[in-house]
């Protein structure tokens, strides 16, 4: 057990769970998907963002592109381009789960390779 304030060794932490199950746990600095786990950070999370992250566990990929530019003392400029603002995998804030997602699951037309997502939404 880590001491209070000590970072959690996430790969080691995730090994404590069954290997053949999806995992929902805490311990990350920011909410993200790692292998078959949603690792929650300390910030509030909306149901849509949680659904987006669950979509990653089901094999769906992000449908947006995000770029960063370091502006030095002014922080970072973030540019995000969504392919479909109605799609929860393209816009976790306003998008929705769509019929096509169910069809893709039923037809298994998506990549099942575990993904690491670094979605950061506060
Ligand atoms: Zn994502």
Distance 9 CA to ligand 1 centre (A): 22
In the chain, alpha helices (H):
10-14, 47-58, 99-107
Distance 118 CA to ligand 1 centre (A): 7
Taking Cα atoms as reference points, which of 41, 29, 66, 36 lies closest to residue 54? 36
Q: How far is the C-alpha of 37 from the C-alpha of 14, rounded, in Å?
A: 8
Distance 7 CA to ligand 1 centre (A): 23
pLDDT tens string, the chain, 122 residues long: the values are 778 888 889 999 999 999 889 999 998 989 999 989 999 999 999 999 999 999 999 999 999 999 999 999 999 999 999 999 999 999 999 999 999 999 999 887 666 665 566 665 54
Rg of the chain over Cα atoms, rounded to whole angstroms, equals: 16
Burial class of 53 by CB neighbour count within 10 A (0 to 12, 13 to 18, 19+): buried
Distance 90 CA to ligand 1 centre (A): 8
pTM: 0.78
Distance 64 CA to ligand 1 centre (A): 8
SS3 of the chain: helix, strand, coil, percent, to 5:
25, 25, 55
Distance 3 CA to ligand 1 centre (A): 30
């Amino acid at each position: 057990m880590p001491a209070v304030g000590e970072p959690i060794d996430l790969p080691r932490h995730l090994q404590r769970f069954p290997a053949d199950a999806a995992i929902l746990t805490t311990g990350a600095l920011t909410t993200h998907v790692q292998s078959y786990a949603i690792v929650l950070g300390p910030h509030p999370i909306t149901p849509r963002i949680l659904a987006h992250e669950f979509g990653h566990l089901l094999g769906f990929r992000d449908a947006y592109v995000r770029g960063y530019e370091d502006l030095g003392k002014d922080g970072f400029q973030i540019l995000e381009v969504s392919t479909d603002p109605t799609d929860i995998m393209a816009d976790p804030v306003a998008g929705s789960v769509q019929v096509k997602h169910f069809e893709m699951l039923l037809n298994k037309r998506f990549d099942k390779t575990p993904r690491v997502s670094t979605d950061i939404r506060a």
